[in-house]
Structure 1
């Protein structure tokens, strides 16, 4: 069984490229089904998509990496080479290591953050519901959850961390003298917005409002914070009322455009607006960033803020990596036990490599002798003798080593391997 992973993240790809490969949770199941239908052997598959990464994990009898690259590139509307320029490709143990690091928060923009584990669990649940989660990936992710739990309980990897939403509040505090005097608008009603609203509510702003496509969901969240509820269609006319806007939806197109923000600034008489776009793809048009009185931050802009305290966690990172190493070794061992042929295939490859080295060494000697003018037959005899000696050297050494029982066992094996065609036929039983 082969395991492979293909992905892009905040380390390898810019925000706008990541936006091409973003999938909302309700898109994962049909996307996975489409992926498996596009590949001949329908591999096991799990798709993880967050604001910082899109990764597909696969398992099948044979690796179908080229087909996976072609499919993902086509899905994002780029060429395979454009994708590979920003992607990482991982196989077997390295794919497992990456999954364990992601689950443990070691590969996140916020080192040690716990939100990614919930997102990964959601992705695995959806893959299972889509019929795409087989035995191999089930084991991979169950082990990743166990490793993440051990990392969380046995290290201080999450200590001193600053979340994206906490970083947004910190930046707002640098712009406004008193956060209690500002009005805050949240666009969306998902987990990130819930976290942002929680952090801002702790600062007791003058008022809070939530705009969401589905009013019922917006009302449910607003009731927790005593916030007003808006329709998305109300945003253009009411945007000017808010000093801070935090947006994170699953929209494929920007919800807040340059024109709407320009009109809002005019109504505000150019009082500054603080805007945070946590969505991938963007909720706020990129051109808004160029306006003089707007302070717009994206998920990538927040990177330097959330790195605060990272130095204090380096010892914990080392401990976490050791836990992950043990988890990877355990998973690889499990894979090999399920597929006994894996060890045999590796041995066959090593035997081919060894005999190839012997051939090249003896051929080099033969060419030198021929170049000197030695007799061709003499050179060929030396070539054959040299290869035979190399092939038999280890066996002959074993036949002279060890006790009588070991020598007999080696003799039996050597007979089966080297004398198979030379053994006399066994006498037939008389009837």
Structure 2
């Protein structure tokens, strides 16, 4: 297949939060358009979350190395970072490995929190945007829809999601370890997305007395507080209210810090240096890392939540093994579809060549037998086209069977194209000089056929 599936990404396993925030994509729509304009790709889609950035691309008919290099260079340029740093922290998957990896991501088997549902929603949002922008086409459309069905099958057939913790749950558990007891504490959520909603729910369930939700869009913050309680404020008023809370959990999409060290330093004085606990689950980070240098301040980022997550993950390893078996099976099913896609142009070329030959021979015959009426001409045309198509049934069925064998598609498609000379190649006169000289004119072939049939009789 000329169109190769290439996946390049970085995640919480390959890169620290400092690298992830550097190469996070804050304007995915324009990034995808730029990839299409500046890189040799036919289709693309990007996923950017707090724990990963993944770029899925379908290459044009150029060497894979050129595609990968172009994507890395463009990604680094957009993020104003070093291509070398990006290469050191990314992973690359091709063809079925890329398919399997994406299925694994959709099923949350590759998440920091195995079994969490947020990644599937994020993947659906990313696909919807790429489809709307026209960067996701035939192969990515099929690949993503298949990813969603694989994730659904895993959740139906396994218990991978049972007792799964979310990032927000892990953040609250970390807060409990610091404070011991959250009863009577006050908390602030910065951001009002799904992570914030989950965090507020967990905080309230664990005894937090009051919550404040600070968000750029006040109406969204009010929606959240109306359903869960608490007070909604505009994010610009955040510095004036920080002194009122003991716990701050931040999860916005801001490309720059929203809480500065100088602001927290002033807040500590107003609190008489009473301890404050900050959890930054955003990438890029919302809270200035220098906050951690202040006395009586405990700042944790998303990478610090791994210990809480790993305790929970051990319980679900058996279910994860079942889920991976589903992913393996579904990857092979998708492979069959990819192989059939690779075969389609060859089938079209076979039929076109057969019809061209049939109509050419019919034209010769009509010249010999003289004029016929239109009805007779159409009947003869239908006859020769039908004979041509039916003579291709067995070769096409053979190709469909053999191209579904692992690693066999390219070899058999190439053999068929050469056997039927579908690419109109001309054999050089100097080719095969060490073999017995044989001409291959149409007359020679007709003679060979007649001789062969006579011998058979």
SS at structure 1 position matched to 2:311: coil
Structure 1 residue 339, shift from structure 2 partner: 0.7
Q: Is the CA contact (8 Å cut-off) linking 1:245 and 1:276 kept in structure 2?
A: yes
Moved more, 335-344 or 250-259: 335-344
1:239 to 238, 242, 254: 242
> RCO greater where, 1 or 2, for CA within 8 Å and sep 6 or more?
1
Are residues 184 and 421 of structure 1, via their aligned partners in 2, closer, same or farther at CA, if it must alter by over 3 Å? Answer: same
Query: Quick check: 1:327 aligned with 2:330?
Result: yes
Counterpart Cα distance in 2 of 1:39 and 1:420: 48
Task: Map residues 174-253 of structure 1 onto 2, 5 A cutoff.
Answer: 174-253=177-256
Structure 1 residue 110 corresponds to structure 2 residue 113: yes
Look up the match of 2:93.
90
Match of 1:44 in 2: 43
Counterpart CA distance in 2 for 1:8 and 1:107 is 12
- Distance in 2 (CA, whole Å) between partners of 1:349 and 1:124 is 33
Give the TM-score normalised by structure 2.
Answer: 0.74
Corresponding residue number in structure 1 for 2:152: 149
1:269 and 1:275 map into 2 onto residues whose CA distance is: 17
1:17 to 19, 39, 57: 19
RMSD of aligned residue pairs (Cα, Å): 2.3
When residues 3 and 175 of structure 1 are mapped into structure 2, their CA distance, relative to the original with a 3 A threshold, is same
C-alpha displacement at 1:420, in angstroms? 7.8
- Give deviations 1:53-87, integer Å, cap 9, x for gaps: 00110113434222112111212222322211000
Instruction: Name which of 282, 287, 292 aligns with 1:284.
Output: 287
Contact kept in structure 1, 2:277 and 2:298, CA below 8 Å = yes
Secondary structure of 1:74's match? helix
Deviation string 1:380-404 (CA, Å, 9 cap, x unpaired) is xxxxxxxx9xxxxxxxxxxxxxxxx
Equivalenced residues, count: 360
Residue among 270, 273, 276 paired with 2:276: 273
State the partner residue of 2:453.
Answer: none
Alignment of 1:66-85 (within 5 A): 66-85=69-88
SS in 2 for 1:66: helix
Evaluate the alpha carbon distance shift between residue 344 and residue 205 of structure 1 in structure 2; reply closer, same or farther with a 3 A threshold: closer
Larger deviation: 91-100 or 65-74? 65-74
Contact 2:339/2:409, CA 8 A, preserved across alignment: no
For the 8 Å contact 1:161–1:306, the answer to whether it is kept is: no
Structure 1 residue ranges without an equivalent (≥5): 351-387, 389-417
Q: CA deviation at 1:428?
A: 9.1
Residue 421 of structure 1 and its aligned partner are, at CA, apart by 2.9
What is the Cα deviation at residue 128 of structure 1?
Answer: 0.2
Q: Please give the alpha-carbon distance, in whole angstroms, between the structure 2 residues aligned to 1:310 and 1:101.
A: 16
CA contact under 8 A between 1:183 and 1:244: conserved in structure 2? yes
Question: Structure 1 residues 349 and 289, CA, compared in 2 at 3 Å: closer, same or farther?
Answer: farther
Instruction: Report how far residue 134 of structure 1 moved.
Output: 0.8
Q: CA deviation at 1:39?
A: 2.3
Q: Distance in 1 between matches of 2:157 and 2:167?
A: 24
Partner of 1:3: 5
> Match of 2:192, SS?
coil
2:187 and 2:248 in contact (8 A); partners too: yes
Distance 2:192 2:90 in 1: 31
User: Within the alignment, does 1:298 sit opposite 2:301 as a pair?
Assistant: yes
Alpha-carbon distance in structure 2 between the residues aligned to 1:51 and 1:233: 23
C-alpha displacement at 1:282, in angstroms?
Answer: 0.8
Hey, what's the Cα distance between the residues in 2 that align with 1:316 and 1:420? Answer: 65
Counterpart-to-counterpart distance in 1, 2:440 and 2:15:
64
Give 1:349 shift. Answer: 9.7
